[in-house]
Structure 1
Amino acid sequence: MTARKPSRKPSRKPSRMTSNPIEAPPVQKPVTTEVSAPTAPAAPAAPAAPATPAAAAAPPAKRARAKRTAATPPRPGRGGAGKGVLPAVALDGGDRARLLAGEHHAPHDVLGAHPTGGGVEFRVLRPFARSVTVLADGVRAELHEDGDGFFAGVLPLSEIPAYRLAVAYEDNETEVDDPYRFLPALGELDLHLIGEGRHEELWTALGAQPMEHQGVTGTRFTVWAPNARGVRVAGDFNYWDGKGLPMRSLGSTGVWELFVPAIGEGALYKFDICRPDGSHTMRADPMARRTEVPPATASVVTASHHQWQDADWMAHRGDRPVHEAPFSAYEVHLPSWRPGLTYRQLAAQLPAYVRDLGFTHVELMPVSEHPFGGSWGYQVTGFYAPTSRMGGPDDFRYLVDALHQAGIGVIVDWVPAHFPRDDWALAEFDGRPLYEHSDPSRAAHPDWGTLEFDYGRKEVRNFLVSNATYWCEEFHIDGLRVDAVASMLYLDYSREDGQWSANEHGGRENLDAVAFLQEMNATVYRRNPGVVTIAEESTAWDGVTRPTDQGGLGFGLKWNMGWMHDSLVYIGKEPVHRKYHHNEMTFSMVYAYSENYVLPISHDEVVHGKQALVSKMPGDWWQQRANHRAYLGFMWAHPGKQLLFMGQEFAQGAEWSEGHGPDWWLVDSSYEASDDHRGVRTLVGDLNAVYGAVPALWQRDTVPEGFAWVDGNASEDNVFSFLRYDADGSPLLAISHFSPAVRQDYRVGVPEGFESWVEVINTDAARYGGSDVRNEEPLKPEAVTMHGRQESVLLTLPPLATVYFRPA
């Protein structure tokens, strides 16, 4: 991970009001309705005492609001009020101070309209306004100014009317609905589930939700901030000054809510949070479903309008369990695959390219919003927002839809292991550790300068579990590859003695993380049939892909980091030395069925000085390409699914850079050596075609009956020969020869009962850039015992090549 620079915050309000839907929109046509006499009984000449029947009959909270406070008389205003408007009861000094300081838990108890002695009391907080007028049926009444942006008055009405506010500024006036006349827009069931940490659709309850509420269109803002003294909504609609939009606290859940009329899609916003110490912090919405383009950091109000066209794909993607189905993934870093393309432009190119190469899936490096591009998306600040660098959320949906229509599944990298420390994001979100662990030694990730989630806190666990389901349900994602699982599972991960504390049983396992991963997997699989979760887990943790009801973590697949490491060590040796490392290629079969594996040649193996795959190979350029092709052939035949990072499909020689992506010019026909690279790409397409057509290569990946060595000990020859079987017992013979010599009349034992064997893949074929040493005629078995089998065939082994044979 790479350190990131903090991103800028949105600018504060300008000194003079300009067009704005909440504070100062363009000048509107003046309201011409004449002030009419109130229809309610005439008001008394002076404000009623709190002991009047009307005040006494009000609920206790209302009576408290009606109480006069002699010590806090109304502050003088700059002008008079409308006809028939009486002065309101002086606002309690504590309420006034808390509202102005942004630390009021219940602003709706003070602001808005409330029955009081002698009528209905209206109180409005509109900083910078010259006047506020109440507009109701037949009534236009200007409120008294009470200083500090407060406007108040009592209208002699028998009940609270449906009303709006006309707010005048220095050079314009706007008519708006009062946010403080609305009931909470979040239901009791939502609050109960949030409090229990069991809201599986958390994104529908928290964040910014455009909606119609009580007949009015606007946006409901909700945020979880249990340690906050107060929360206000700030955005481009109020010049980033949230003083006029304080939110209310909803019970003991720690959730704050405010419905703001007239705010819709595209509005920028943040939450102005008053910390426990009284200081303020401006925070992006943890549940934002869209963000500004980095380095800007504001959240964006959004709603989806995409019409999905992938119903057939969604209906059938779960027809076969993924570990018994073909799975060949092309790993992509979207911003750099074709730099500069938007999601919709990618949709016009990526599906066709992947389909032509025969991959069954794409695996996208993290698409969640992240402030620093150099982190490749692995330091996430917007867990619910696709990165806006390439378009909006619906544009990303369009890309996924296009891939599905091309018959390609979509896996996304998901990063619940940690998050960055940016002071506008999750770190100490409400002034205290909230998403991170309260113990600093548990919170700080030792490797990446980031913070680890507190998996033991039910609301944090809910945030992450819901996020996993969000990507599957809102974006039709077919799988989640979970990053850095090992760092989550162990309390002593990258820590020395004295830097960590044992769990309650005295062990080093992070039991909270284990419970979280089990809950996440169980929830995702229950809610989304056909989806797969994949663990990047680099240790020998037992049961990563075992079901949760059997004590496992519940993943569908696991990256086989051991195979990747060992096989790259072997292939990086000169052929003359490979016989001393033969076991590096065979050891993976000792544990091949302990988990359901993916064989990953990922982005991590082609950056930071590790070299591109072809550049890891020894020898001259021809030998490097031959080794590259032979290695891919071995990989595609080995038990397990495949994953190959972009650029490696055409033997790019340079390491990957997120700045410019793959070297596409290498396969341009104008480049003199393009045939070398296009040949490798042709091989990848043919490997995928044979792989998809031959169930022996994928149907029994996870059971011993699907594999048998023919000869795993031919170290002197640098040869590995083995059989793959499908569910019906039909075999495929694979032979990898990692020596530059041609071996004529090489005898290999084969299963009995087949008349001949036909070559179906030869990585040395001329069309791939090889020397074209092939077995063109079918191989006839002979009754010659070899490798413990009663029949055998004589064949020619090409140099540095992998060959597949099937019974004719």
Structure 2
Amino acid sequence: MRKPADKAHVDTEVRRVVELRHPEPHSVLGIHPDGDGVVVRAYRPDAVSIHVLRDGGDRIPMQHRDDGVFEARVNNCKSTFSYLLEVEYPGKRVFKLRDPYSFLPTLGEMDLYYAGEGRHERLWERMGAHLIHHNGTKGVSFAVWAPTAAGVSVVGDFNSWDGRLHAMRRMGASGIWELFIPEVGEGTRYKFEIRPGQGGPRLLKADPFAFRTEVPPSTASVVHDLGHHRWEDAAWLEARSQRGDVARHPWSVYEVHLGSWRHVVEDGDRPMTYRELAPALAEYVKHMGFTHVELLPVAEYPYGGSWGYQVSGYYAPTARYGHPDDFRFLVDHLHKEGIGVIIDWVPGHFPRDSHALGEFDGTSLYEHSDPRKGAQPDWGTLVFNFGRNEVRNFLIANALFWIEEYHVDGLRVDAVASMLYLDYSRKQGEWIPNRWGGRENEEAIQFLRELNDTVRRKHPGVVVIAEESTAWPKVSSPTSEGGLGFHFKWNMGWMHDTLSYFSKDPIYRQYHHNQLTFGLLYAFSEHFMLPLSHDEVVHGKGSLYGRMPGDPWQKRANLRALFAWMWAHPGKKLLFMGGEFGQPAEWNHDKSLDWHLTKDPGHQGIQRLVATLNRIYKELPALHDADNEPVGFQWLQPDAASDNVLAFVRRSRQPGRHVVCVANLSPAVRENFRVGFPLHGSYVEVLNTDASEYGGSNVGNLGQLRTEATGWDGQPASALLTLPPLSVMWFTPG
């Protein structure tokens, strides 16, 4: 016969349960062998009475033992059994429920081992909240990492947000707390109530792995099943995986902030939902010829003014625009229309909001404790501790989550420079050198390499893009060659120099000619993407259109020339929404784009030009298949500064295929201007930004031209051209 539990010991254990500081309440509550029978305990602080309803058997009264702990003993019972609890509250309110403390853990030893090692690549399948059948019972398994907590409870709609009712158990040294709660269903709101180990007030935290959230400013997590949406993009995913070298393909990316792309005016001037965006955005992007959309961060964030760059819910699409399955519908629809989806991803920092990751268990868990490493002064945010296995695992699993569960085709990693440098935006004495005395953040470097290697290994065809603004070497080189392993890097130097040049009055441009030529000295050192992003149309910078000099006609001409220069320049393309039709106003995240302008002939011409650029860019391999190789570019006239003229050749990896680009960035028409051509014969002017269909004056070499056998610009042939004002022209053999 088993020895009955010692009463004094049980009293001590019960007291720890009541005080919510027991690391394993299942060892006290629930059903347990005891002597020649079993004992059932339940903690229901406000109950009047509780009965044990044995499955297919008796109704057994429980005795009140201490401060809401009830106990029933069943003698001469050789094994435990299934049961319900019938709980009566004041006012004769009676509830029947399956006891959560009668279930075994839902996490296995291997889950805990790989999570501790930082190598659980599908961590989201085990952490957070999951609708499951456990021992034949429907419910939700909850798991959260809070290693220094004295106790953790699940609170939510199902228990009146009372932390006494569903205390979790700690799974050994892993620091993970677990609890299965029967009969909790989808759509239930919940949080974790954490009691810090060092004392202090209880913390109410959203689930770091929540798949769904309340609509901000509310902050609760919501139970959600990932399995509802039925994907229809299998052909797209298969083609993506077979793409090969992504650098040899055209990438023309339309950057979008979902909340301000287009509003529904008929319904109170509100942002479109994910499902409303799907057909409208797909139709527009397809019409404009972009290959991809890049969405400003879609992971949940508390402050709208951060545009999503201060993430609080890394595993949940923002509820502002709908349900997670609605976001899946958007991605699926874009794929079916042949459009790739890139999302901005923010592993560099996170906000201090009390419900979010900061001091999650009362200590600096996800962040460094020392503000010289754990705080980001520019944004008032916190910095991830990339050296901690669990934190690194949280982020890498998150990257895989968006690729695997939402089928995204790429991640644009925000603010990489802030991760790479320990002294980023810090003064002397405000940062801690690495072990060698340097400024490089070795832990972040290792994290980025692991991230990129993992994505490349598991998901061929998916890209990871770095927004990196310094001269850090080999950002887009493989890690095997000492690089960081990104597929592309935003070319911030090109962006700054090019916008600076185009914003100047043409009379001064000859003195800044090098701003357009300097970038070619390093254009092939990385796999570059040329960004004219949201950052260039905010914070008082004005719009791209507004930065162009001159009267309205000249502004439009300059902007058309800028776009044609960009699309011909080596590097993939990215343009923020509104730029494609020359929106004059600076971007406002609370307002829709000024779509009425697309009915104006001048702005319509800019829009038509961008569509043409995208079409030709995809059709002509010379404009994209050797972007990162010197063979893909040759200067013809880099030094005609006094004329504000530049000319070059873009060459394909396919022999003989090339495009000649000639830019006249002065307002004067230049007649009989000789330019060298690689071949003697016929050429076709395939693009002229001064054409009347784009709102220009229709000056140029419309139709075909024939070169002369006169060597020029290092080429065997040449032609006398008419260069329209503030224009760019493209020529191909024909």
TM-score, with length taken from structure 1: 0.88
- CA offset at residue 438 of structure 1? 2.0
SS of corresponding position for 1:592? coil
Q: Select the structure of larger CA radius of gyration.
A: 1
- Show the 5 A alignment for 1:579-658: 579-658=510-589
User: Does structure 2 retain, via aligned residues, the 8 Å contact 1:614–1:625?
Assistant: yes
Deviation sequence 1:316-341 (CA, Å, 0-9, x none): 01313221101000000011112321
> Secondary structure in 2 aligned to 1:102?
coil
Match of 1:794 in 2: 720
Q: Which residue of 2 aligns with 1:426?
A: 357
Unaligned runs of 5+ in 1: 1-52, 56-62, 70-90
Residue by residue over 1:398-423, the C-alpha shift from the partner in whole angstroms, topping out at 9 and shown as x without a partner, is: 00000000100000000000001111
* Residue equivalent to 2:7: 68
Separation in 2, partners of 1:508, 1:713? 39
Q: Name the stretch that deviates more: 408-417 or 125-134.
A: 125-134
Instruction: Using the TM superposition, give the Cα deviation of residue 741 of structure 1 relative to its aligned residue in structure 2, in angstroms.
Output: 0.8
SS at match of 1:347: helix
Moved more, 271-280 or 571-580: 271-280
2:193, 2:12 → 1: CA distance?
A: 20
Q: Does structure 1 retain, via aligned residues, the 8 Å contact 2:14–2:28?
A: no
Q: Which residue of 2 aligns with 1:256?
A: 177
**Aligned partner (choices 244, 267, 280) of residue 188 of structure 2:** 267
1:237 counterpart SS class? helix
Kindly provide the CA deviation profile for residues 365-415 of structure 1, in whole angstroms up to 9, marking residues without a partner as x.
000100000000000000111100011111100000000001000000000
Deviation at 1:701, TM superposition (A): 0.2
Counterpart CA distance in 2 for 1:448 and 1:515 is 24
Name the % identity. Answer: 54
SS in 1 for 2:344: strand
Matched, 1:219 2:140: yes
Root mean square deviation, CA, Å: 1.1
2-side partners of 1:168 and 1:439: how far apart? 50
Instruction: Decide whether the 8 Å contact of 1:207 with 1:285 is kept in 2.
Output: yes
Give, in angstroms, the shift of residue 525 of structure 1. 1.4
1:166 correspondence with 2:90: no
**Counterpart for residue 260 of structure 2:** 336
Structure 2 residue matching 1:212: 3-state secondary structure:
strand
Q: In structure 1, what is the Cα distance between the partners aligned to 2:602 and 2:703?
A: 27
Partner residue of 2:235 out of 278, 299, 312: 312
Partner in structure 1 of residue 268 of structure 2: none
Paired with 2:120 and 2:208, the residues of 1 have a C-alpha distance of: 16
The C-alpha deviation readout for 1:565-607, integer Å capped at 9, x for no partner, is: 0011111111111000000000000000110000000000001
Q: Determine if contact 2:343/2:412 at 8 Å carries over to the other structure.
A: yes
Task: State the SS of the aligned residue for 1:217.
Answer: strand
1:685 to 588, 597, 611: 611
| Cα distance, 1:158 vs structure 2 | 2.2
1:252 to partner: Cα distance: 0.5
Whether the 8 Å CA contact 1:327–1:361 is kept in 2: the answer is yes
2:499 corresponds to which residue?
568
Match in the other structure for 1:733: 660
Q: Does 1:193 align with 2:132?
A: no
Deviation string 1:10-63 (CA, Å, 9 cap, x unpaired) is xxxxxxxxxxxxxxxxxxxxxxxxxxxxxxxxxxxxxxxxxxx322xxxxxxx6
Letter in 2 for 1:142: P
Q: Counterpart amino acid of 2:560?
A: R
- Tell me which residue corresponds to 1:749: 676
> What is the DSSP-based 3-state SS (H/G/I as helix, E as strand, rest coil) of the residue aligned with 1:317?
helix
In the alignment, structure 1 residue 374 sits paired with structure 2 residue 305: yes
Shift of 1:144: 0.9
Give the structure 2 partner of residue 29 of structure 1: none
| Cα deviation code 1:734-774 (max 9, x no counterpart) | 1111011111111111113x420101011111111111113
> Secondary structure of 2:687's match?
strand
Match of 1:695 in 2: 621
1:148 and 2:67 correspond: yes
Counterpart residue number, 1:713 = 639
**Structure 2 counterpart of 1:134:** 52
Q: Following TM superposition, by how much is the alpha carbon of 1:150 offset from its aligned partner in structure 2, in angstroms?
A: 1.3
Q: What SS class does the counterpart of residue 190 from structure 2 fall into?
A: strand
- Aligned pairs (5 A) from 1:79-118: 92-118=10-36
In structure 1, how many angstroms separate the alpha carbons of the residues matched to 2:224 and 2:45? 27
Structure having the larger proportion of residues in strand: 2
- 788-797 or 396-405: which moved more? 788-797
- Residue aligning to 1:289: 211
User: Match of 2:159, SS?
Assistant: coil
Q: Does structure 1 conserve the Cα–Cα contact (< 8 Å) formed by 2:87 and 2:94?
A: yes
Separation in structure 2 between the aligned mates of residue 513 and residue 579 of structure 1, nearest angstrom:
42
What whole-Å deviation, never above 9, does each CA across 1:240-263 have from its counterpart, x for those lacking one?
112011100001110000000001
Does residue 183 of the first structure (1) align with residue 104 of the second (2)?
A: yes
Aligned partners of 1:777 and 1:296: how far apart in 2?
61
How far the C-alpha of 1:164 sits from its partner, in A, is: 1.4
Q: Which amino acid in the other structure matches residue 454 of structure 2?
A: T
Unmatched 5+ residue regions in structure 2? 264-270
Contact 1:779-1:794 at 8 Å conserved across structures: no
**Map of 1:483 onto structure 2:** 414
- Aligned equivalents of 2:273 and 2:388: distance in 1? 38
Question: Quick check: 1:412–1:477 contact (8 Å CA) kept in 2?
Answer: yes
> Which residue is equivalent to 1:54?
2
Query: 1:207 deviation in Å?
Result: 0.3
In 2, Cα distance between the equivalents of 1:410 and 1:607? 24
Contact 2:673/2:722 (8 A) holds in 1:
yes
Q: Deviations over 1:413-447 (max 9, x none)?
A: 00000001111111110011000012221111111
Tell me how far apart the structure 2 counterparts of residues 379 and 266 of structure 1 sit (CA, whole Å).
25
Question: Within 2, Cα distance between the matches of 1:145 and 1:68?
Answer: 15
How far residue 195 of structure 1 moved from its aligned partner, in angstroms, is 1.1
Measure, in 1, the Cα distance between the counterparts of 2:592 and 2:297.
Answer: 16
Q: Deviation digits for residues 489-543 of structure 1, max 9, x if unmatched?
A: 0011111111112111111100000000001111111111110000000000011
Q: Structure 1 stretches (4+) deviating beyond 4 angstroms? A: none
The answer (yes or no) to whether the contact 2:26–2:169 under 8 Å persists in 1 is yes
Q: 1:338 and 1:558 mapped to 2: Cα distance?
A: 29
Q: Distance in 2 between matches of 1:480 and 1:181?
A: 43
Q: CA deviation at 1:224?
A: 0.4
Structure 1: how far apart are the matches of 2:305 and 2:503?
28
- Is 2:260 the partner of 1:321? no
Offset, 1:103: 1.6
Contact 1:366 1:414 in 2 (8 A): yes
State the alpha-carbon separation in 2 of the partners of residues 242 and 336 from structure 1: 40
Equivalent residue letter for 1:415:
V
> Matched residue of 2:618: which SS?
helix
Instruction: Please report how far the alpha carbon of residue 278 of structure 1 lies from its aligned counterpart in structure 2 after TM superposition.
Output: 2.7
Q: Quick check: 2:645–2:664 contact (8 Å CA) kept in 1?
A: yes
Q: Distance in 2 between matches of 1:722 and 1:638?
A: 9
Alignment-derived partner of residue 266 in structure 2: none
SS at match of 1:269: strand
Contact 2:669 2:725 in 1 (8 A): yes
The 5-angstrom pairing of residues 386-425 of structure 1 reads 386-425=317-356
For residue 277 of structure 1, report the CA deviation from its aligned partner. 2.4
8 Å CA contact retained: 2:636, 2:676: yes
| C-alpha displacement of 1:781 | 1.1
State the alpha-carbon separation in 2 of the partners of residues 171 and 134 from structure 1. Answer: 17
* 2:267 aligned residue: none
The AA in structure 2 aligned to 1:490 is Y
Deviates more, 1:357-366 or 1:434-443: 434-443
Aligned position for 1:76: none
Indicate which of 27, 41, 45 corresponds to 1:123: 41
Q: TM-score, normalised by structure 2?
A: 0.97
AA partner of residue 208 (structure 1):
A
Alignment partner, residue 235 of structure 1? 156
Q: Distance in 1 between matches of 2:460 and 2:163?
A: 43
Residues 463-491 of structure 1 show CA distances to partners (whole Å, capped at 9, x for unaligned) of 11111111111100000000000000001
